[in-house]
Homo-oligomer: A and B are copies of this chain.
Amino acid sequence: MTEPTTENPYLFKTIGIIGVGLLGGSIAAAARRRKIAKTVLGAGRNPSRMRAAQQSGLLDRGTTNIAETSAQSDLVIVCTPVNQIVQFIRTVAQHSRPGTIITDVGSTKQKICEDLYGSLPEGVTFVASHPLAGSEKAGFEFADPNLFQHRPCVITPDASLPIEAVAKVKQFWEALGMHVLETSPEKHDQILAETSHLPHVVSSALAMTLTAENRKFTSTGFRDTTRIAAGDPSIWLDILLSNSEAVVHSIDKYTQSLHRLRDAIKNHDENLLRQLLEDGKKNHDALNSARPQ
């Protein structure tokens, strides 16, 4: 592993981003701002979008050529929708030089790791990642170099991976300002079902429930609680279906909490209702101290 030096201050000479949307674009912006890579390449499907990303200064070069982008990069970050990650990583690996490291930003990890660990060409290493940062907005126009600052990133390596490559991926996310956590792919998907996929389902169900004639009677509470329901349905469809078992389990656990509240309200059980509301408040308030800022 080459450590950055005064002569070569960059963690990577060249990074390549496959899929330059909100997340990919924000990685490009942050990598540039923080001088993590000397050259930032991007590849995507739409030639005019890629030209626009290059012209905006976000990328040193934006093309539709994944092979070329892969061949020229020391680290490739695949930022496509979750159900396309495996195929894109296989393509990237085919065209990469030996020593290239590949990572991703997929919201579920078990299927990706099962498919890819131990099955890529010799000399190319894939280390799975999930930066817990995002937005309900879409497109590199909303790229934000501070999107990753103080947020957690989960990496899910296994024992077969070269420890230098794992360390380098960890360094990359830390250089973006993230706090890196490590767990198994299976455990990741169980945890994220509760902390990320469940909130999306809960929020979408609330947005679905609102009748049109009652919209004008909403305030900030309703709007905040349904903010994440504005996320791209195609992206969330993939995430929820790629982790369906754990998500259904979380929904069932949540339904129990909901029904404890419901029954306390129905039975006018003041003591129980107070206790439940206090538990919820404590759990929310604890979030502020759970994470290094």
Residues of A within 8 A of B (CB): 132-134, 151-152, 154, 181, 191-192, 194-196, 198-212, 214-231, 233-234, 236-237, 240-241, 244, 247-248, 250-255, 257-262, 265-266, 268, 270, 273-274, 276-281, 283-287, 290-291
Of all chain B residues, the one with the shortest Cβ separation from A263 is B248
Q: Are the CB atoms of B283 and A210 closer together than 8 Å? A: yes
8 contacts between A and B (CB under 8 A): A194-B211, A204-B277, A205-B280, A206-B254, A207-B280, A208-B283, A248-B265, A251-B265
3 tightest A-B contacts by CB? A204-B280, A207-B280, A215-B290
Q: A291 to chain B: which residues have CB within 8 Å?
A: 215-216, 218
Q: Are the CB atoms of B208 and A221 closer together than 8 Å? A: no
Q: Are the CB atoms of B261 and A205 closer together than 8 Å? A: yes
Name A181's contact: one of B154, B216, B252, B279 (CB within 8 Å). Answer: B216
Name A154's contact: one of B217, B236, B270 (CB within 8 Å). Answer: B217
In Å, the complex CA distance between A261 and B254 comes to: 13
In Å, the complex CA distance between A184 and B103 comes to: 58
Q: Indicate whether A234 sits within 8 Å of B287 (C-beta atoms), given known contacts A196-B219, A206-B202, A216-B152.
A: no
Q: Are the CB atoms of A273 and B237 closer together than 8 Å? A: yes
Q: Are the CB atoms of A194 and B214 closer together than 8 Å? A: yes
In Å, the complex CA distance between A134 and B224 comes to: 13
Q: Are the CB atoms of B283 and A207 closer together than 8 Å? A: yes
In Å, the complex CA distance between A204 and B252 comes to: 16
Q: Indicate whether A281 sits within 8 Å of B205 (C-beta atoms), given known contacts A216-B152, A217-B152, A262-B248.
A: no
- Counting chain B CB atoms within 10 Å of each CB, the highest count among A217, A259, A287 belongs to A217
Q: A202 to chain B: which residues have CB within 8 Å?
A: 202, 205-206, 225, 258
In Å, the complex CA distance between A199 and B202 comes to: 10
Q: Indicate whether A217 sits within 8 Å of B181 (C-beta atoms), given known contacts A205-B261, A237-B274.
A: yes
Of all chain B residues, the one with the shortest Cβ separation from A132 is B219
Q: Indicate whether A284 sits within 8 Å of B191 (C-beta atoms), given known contacts A248-B262, A277-B236.
A: no
Name A229's contact: one of B181, B234, B236, B284 (CB within 8 Å). Answer: B284
Q: A209 to chain B: which residues have CB within 8 Å?
A: 194, 198, 250, 253-254, 257
Q: A198 to chain B: which residues have CB within 8 Å?
A: 206, 209
Q: Are the CB atoms of A257 and B225 closer together than 8 Å? A: no
In Å, the complex CA distance between A135 and B18 comes to: 41
Of all chain B residues, the one with the shortest Cβ separation from A288 is B223
Q: Indicate whether A196 sits within 8 Å of B208 (C-beta atoms), given known contacts A273-B241, A284-B229.
A: no
